[in-house]
Amino acid sequence: MRREIRIAGFGGQGVVLAGYILGKAFALYEGLEAVMTQSYGPEARGGASSSNVVISDEPIDYPFVLEPDVLIALSQEAYTRFRPTARADALLIIEEDLVTPLEGDRPLRVPATRLAEELGRRIVANIVTLGYFTAATGWLRRESVEKAIENTLPARVVPLNLNAFARGYEYALAGERVL
Amino acid sequence: MRGRAVLTGEHFMHGDHACTEGAIAAGCRFFAGYPITPSTEIAERIAQRLPEVGGVFIQMEDEIASILAIIGASAAGARAMSATSGPGFSLMMENIGLAVMMEIPIVIVDVQRGSPSTGLPTLPGQADVMQARWGSHGDYAIAAYAPWSPQEMFDLTVLAFNVADRFRIPVMVMSDEVVGHMVERVVIPPEEQIPRWERKRPTVPPENGFRPFLAEDDDLVPPLVHAGEGYRVHFTGLTHDERGYPDMSAETHHRLVTRLVEKVRRNADAMVRYEGYGLEDARIVVISYGCTARSARRAVAQARAAGIPAGLLRLISLWPFPEKPLRDLARQAEAFIVAEMNLGQMICEVERYVAQPVIGVNHAGGAMIPPAPILETIEEVANRGAHIGRRKASTG
Amino acid sequence: MAHTLVAEKHPLDDLIRTDRMPHIWCPGCGIGIVMRCYAQAILESGIPVEQHVIVSGIGCAARTPGYMNLDSYHTTHGRPIPFATGLKLVKPELMVTVFSGDGDLAAIGGNHLIHAARRNVDIKVICINNFNYGMTGGQVGPTTPLGAKTTTTPYGNPEYPFNLPYLLAAAGAVFVSRWTAIHARQVKEDILYTFHKPGFTFIEVLAPCPVGFGKSNNLDEGVEEMWLYRRRCVPAGRVPEETPWEALQVDLREERPIVVGRFVDEDRPVYRPVRLEDKPSEHRG
């Protein structure tokens, strides 16, 4: 079992942090192997940025995402740029207010930024998305991601982020569970 | 506020950060460096961590100053390290020789990127591995390790300090951008389980007649005197006698340089590290290291699943080169394949020890070699039996 | 030989590696005088000999550590300052002196020189300036005057030299002085003074190099150059009000004054690595 997840967006949306927390949840609290990689350098700073997580039940040799099984796109540019890299039948999760999907794609939609704004901080849209991903896929337990949030972020922002995670998680549960 | 030196526990950790934690867990209390991609995260994290444990961080004006500062710091008794990448590694070369000649232990981390020159700052390479061995002028010997995971960034940095201190030599951690920038599980053991090899120190009080460069033990390592201990020792990059005094004679030079090289050869068993996968019955042996070995392991696993008797010899120490396991494998193998992200460097070392065909799987750098070209080469060798070509350049 | 006077002991015996004599310096060279001043200052410093460390690079002056019975480090060309920086930061209780030449410190090691002064790291620099590379046989250096002949400027030096006190003052050294090899007393006094002056200090000592700079510039005898120093050195007035920095430019070949003296002596916080136990107010930015 090897699965590849790409989280993409524009700078400032926290896609690297989201990938880190997701990878940590898998690697430390789900008993799986996980590797996170990202692009570096001035070329990686502008425009669409991404973080990439590979999970597996055996040691991960090749650490890079080649053909994502999951693409989470938080911006139009990220969607347009990375959609072709993902499998044709990849699970697509889009920020529904920011991304118009290509014809033929039937992505899952989450208004992550709007939900984050309702919590008072649009900056946690990435964590809302993680909550949505966790509930929608059922690939890992809610507590694993919550533990990863608690053990990654400074204590003062943990409650906000746990709320954001719960908000995305519940939003997905209220809709149709897809996998 | 004091921080913990050893962050015992399970972490999901960046390779460069794991290197930093390995250094601090090993007792590194001095770091001098200059920002350079892709090693900068080491400097950034250690700038935050060293003050927490009472250590010293200083950003120098260049990498030449950085290596001198760590040699000076080590001469005063500290475990000291610098981290850099190709261009900075080149700037350090002259003074690798100074550390060798003064026998002052230091650790240098090279997170290799695409090269030569400025090359590919944000992308990987493995083309500094011969430079690590031979980059300074003259005959000398050092140790160098190639981590293939964030976990080994931790473990091998600890080992690097121990080998440096125990044998009074510079030790390099030859990482690469893939391993340096990868985030993966890292398990940091309890403090008491971090191995610690101490420096050999003088056992006699300062007095006239103490000869600081006299190696009386079989390991050829003389005891190390630190600044300010009253021994009033002279350290010089000039050829020197057992008193440390410059001596411009051919005899003294030959004796000194021979001991410095022999010191590493004689103690190689304590420094050499390697790992094997499927070697028991291997007729085709893949040799690889660092990030490329991850792909090599996958390729070997795929080949074995297809019934090809392939195995992997992963070089953990590049220097001293693990020649013994290679000589042993030469008795059973029909061919060797060396996969590395350069145009053929460690392959030259392999060719020194085996008579069988040695085939390179090479790429100049910029992207990790994936398993496919390695697997294809294994299959090709398997299909053509003994009639394979001597060298094949294949790209990832 | 009834009148021969043989001293059984010399006060500096303990500070000199007598088993390393004779030294390599040429007749008429000024370096030995400065080494003598350094040794005398150590003797008078009240700081235990074991706490003195001498560091050098490459060149004639840089051979001094080999003759001093101290913890001594003879590093590579241009690099004594960063070596000394690392050593001092690990053992701040040691008195670390860098003793080297103008080519070592101001050319190949020039970047380290200005950055150490900028940081105000607590090391004491004694710079022997003999206007050329002596050890390699008299080539042009960073202090060689415009027009002077050396083995690599056979038609005269086309470059301007560094005015070292000006450079060091601009870079932030808290103490800058200049003397010549004839000013043994002042050199010793300044070395002694800088031992007790926290921060990056710089003493330039002009010294004859008769077989290097001298032979190409009509100063073949060391003693001639010493006479020249005696004749032409003038003490500085207040710098820069009475003595502008430009007046500190030296050219031995011209009949113009050589300004000597203490040019900078001020207090500035010494570089210290960040320590978290410090109060925030004690941190330097």
- CA–CA distance, A20 with A4 (Å, rounded to integer): 14
Indicate the residue of B10, B37, B182 with minimum beta-carbon distance to A63.
B182
Report CA-CA distances (Å) from C18 to B229, B235, C52: 21, 17, 18
How confident is the model over C84-114, as pLDDT tens digits? 999 999 999 999 999 999 999 999 999 999 9
Kindly report the nearest CA distance between residue C55 and chain B, in angstroms.
Answer: 9
Count each helix (H run) and each strand (E run) in chain A, helices first: 7, 6
How confident is the model over A81-112, as pLDDT tens digits? 999 999 999 999 999 999 999 999 999 999 99
Topology adopted by domain B1-271: Rossmann fold (3.40.50)
pLDDT class for C285, splitting at 50, 70, 90? very low
Indicate the residue of C94, C273, C275 with minimum beta-carbon distance to B227.
C94
Q: At residue C61, does pLDDT exceed 90?
A: yes
Q: Does C8 fall in a domain?
A: no
Amino acid identity for residue B118 in this structure: T
- Please give the pLDDT value at position B385: 67
- CA–CA distance, B174 with B154 (Å, rounded to integer): 13
Neighbour count for residue B375 (Cβ, 10 Å): 23
Say yes or no for a CB contact (<8 Å) between A35 and B183.
yes
Kindly report the nearest CA distance between residue B192 and chain C, in angstroms.
Answer: 25
Contacts of A2 in chain B (CB under 8 A): none
Mean pLDDT across chain B: 96
- Please give the pLDDT value at position A44: 62
Contacts of B182 in chain A (CB under 8 A): 35-37, 63
Say yes or no for a CB contact (<8 Å) between B12 and A36.
yes
Q: What does the CA dihedral C112, C115, C116, C119 come to, rounded to 10 degrees?
A: -160
- CA–CA distance, A149 with A165 (Å, rounded to integer): 9
The enclosing domain of C95 has a CATH number of 3.40.50.970
- Please give the pLDDT value at position B396: 40
- CA–CA distance, B120 with B115 (Å, rounded to integer): 6
- Please give the pLDDT value at position C282: 41
Neighbour count for residue B251 (Cβ, 10 Å): 9
User: Which structure tokens are listed for A104?
Assistant: 């033929």
Mean pLDDT across chain C: 94
Say yes or no for a CB contact (<8 Å) between A40 and B37.
yes
Q: Say how many CB pairs under 8 Å bridge B and C.
A: 144
Residue in B closest to A148 by C-alpha = B12
**Chain A positions with Cβ closer than 8 Å to B:** 20, 23-24, 27-28, 33-41, 43-44, 59-64, 148
Query: What is the pTM for the complete model shown?
Result: 0.96
How confident is the model over C192-212, as pLDDT tens digits? 999 999 999 999 999 999 999
- Please give the pLDDT value at position B40: 97
In DSSP notation, A123-156 reads GGHHHHHHHHHHHHH-SS-HHHHHHHHHTTS-GG
Kindly report the nearest CA distance between residue B169 and chain C, in angstroms.
Answer: 16
Predicted interface score ipTM higher than 0.85: yes
- Please give the pLDDT value at position C69: 97
User: Which structure tokens are listed for C259?
Assistant: 């300004």
Place of tokens 């900068």: B40
Report CA-CA distances (Å) from C171 to B283, B290, C166, C174: 65, 44, 9, 9
Nearest in space to C129 (alpha carbons), one of C183, C205, C202? C205
Domain that holds residue C236: 15-282
Report CA-CA distances (Å) from B48 to B20, B51, B297: 10, 6, 36
Q: At residue C160, does pLDDT exceed 60?
A: yes
Q: Does C4 fall in a domain?
A: no
Task: Name residues of chain B where pLDDT drops below 70.
Answer: 1-2, 385-396
Domains of chain A: 2-174 (3.40.920.10)
Touching pair A, B by Cβ (3+ pairs < 8 Å)? yes
Across the strands, what pairs with B235? C73
Say yes or no for a CB contact (<8 Å) between C83 and B71.
yes
Please report, rounded to a whole number, the percentage of residues in chain C having pLDDT higher than 70.
Answer: 96
Place of tokens 């000589």: B327
Where in chain B is CATH 3.40.50.920? Answer: 276-387
Contacts of C272 in chain B (CB under 8 A): none
How confident is the model over C5-23, as pLDDT tens digits? 788 889 999 999 999 999 9
- Please give the pLDDT value at position C8: 85
Are B184 and A34 spatial neighbours (Cβ–Cβ below 8 Å)? Answer: yes
Amino acid identity for residue B277 in this structure: Y
- Please give the pLDDT value at position B2: 62
User: Which structure tokens are listed for B385?
Assistant: 């039996």
- Please give the pLDDT value at position B391: 43
Mean pLDDT of C142-164: 97
- Please give the pLDDT value at position C278: 55
Indicate the residue of C71, C86, C115 with minimum beta-carbon distance to B233.
C71
Q: Does C217 fall in a domain?
A: yes
- Please give the pLDDT value at position B209: 81
Kindly report the nearest CA distance between residue B140 and chain A, in angstroms.
Answer: 35
C194 in the Ramachandran plot: left (φ > 0), alpha (ψ -120 to 50) or beta? alpha
Say yes or no for a CB contact (<8 Å) between A36 and B368.
no
Kindly report the nearest CA distance between residue B222 and chain A, in angstroms.
Answer: 42
- Please give the pLDDT value at position B3: 79
Q: Does C3 fall in a domain?
A: no
Mean pLDDT of A13-28: 97
Say yes or no for a CB contact (<8 Å) between C66 and B235.
no
Mean pLDDT of C147-162: 96
Q: Does C70 fall in a domain?
A: yes
CATH for B276-387?
A: 3.40.50.920
Where in chain B is CATH 3.40.50.970? Answer: 1-271
Contacts of A24 in chain B (CB under 8 A): 12
Number of domain units in chain C: 1
How confident is the model over B103-139, as pLDDT tens digits? 999 999 999 999 999 999 999 999 999 999 999 999 9
- CA–CA distance, B61 with B116 (Å, rounded to integer): 22
